[in-house]
Amino acid sequence: MSGRITFILTFAVVLCALSLVNSQYQARRQFIELERAQAAARQLDIEWAQLQLDQSTLGKHARIEANARRDLHMVAVSPDRTQYLTTGGK
């Protein structure tokens, strides 16, 4: 009877040890996955900041005006080229 109890206790200790090893492995794996996700989040934050900077640069009025003049051959409105519409007889 004593041998049987020893066998059962030994088996229980081995199962507990295997369970501990498995839980440590899972914890390490999840920690590595967390680190990768945090690194990806930091990279996305950097890209987002760069895109915001690009958007503010591309949206400046002076740049838009220069592109309109150069690419579309547009000019600013002058008083001699302005037509005024009035309501009524004149």
pLDDT tens digits along 7-24? 999 999 999 999 999 999
Q: What is the pLDDT of the chain when averaged over all its residues?
A: 90
Are 75 and 69 spatial neighbours (Cβ–Cβ below 8 Å)? yes
Query: Cβ neighbours of residue 75 under 8 Å, at least 6 residues apart?
Result: 69
Please determine, for residue 88, whether its predicted confidence score (pLDDT) is greater than 80.
no
For the chain, what is the domain count? 1
What's the average model confidence in pLDDT over 43-69? 89
Please determine, for residue 80, whether its predicted confidence score (pLDDT) is greater than 60.
yes
- The residue among 37 and 90 whose pLDDT is bigger is 37
Expressed as residue numbers, the domain containing 61 is 2-74
The reply to whether 69 falls in a domain is yes
The reply to whether 84 falls in a domain is no
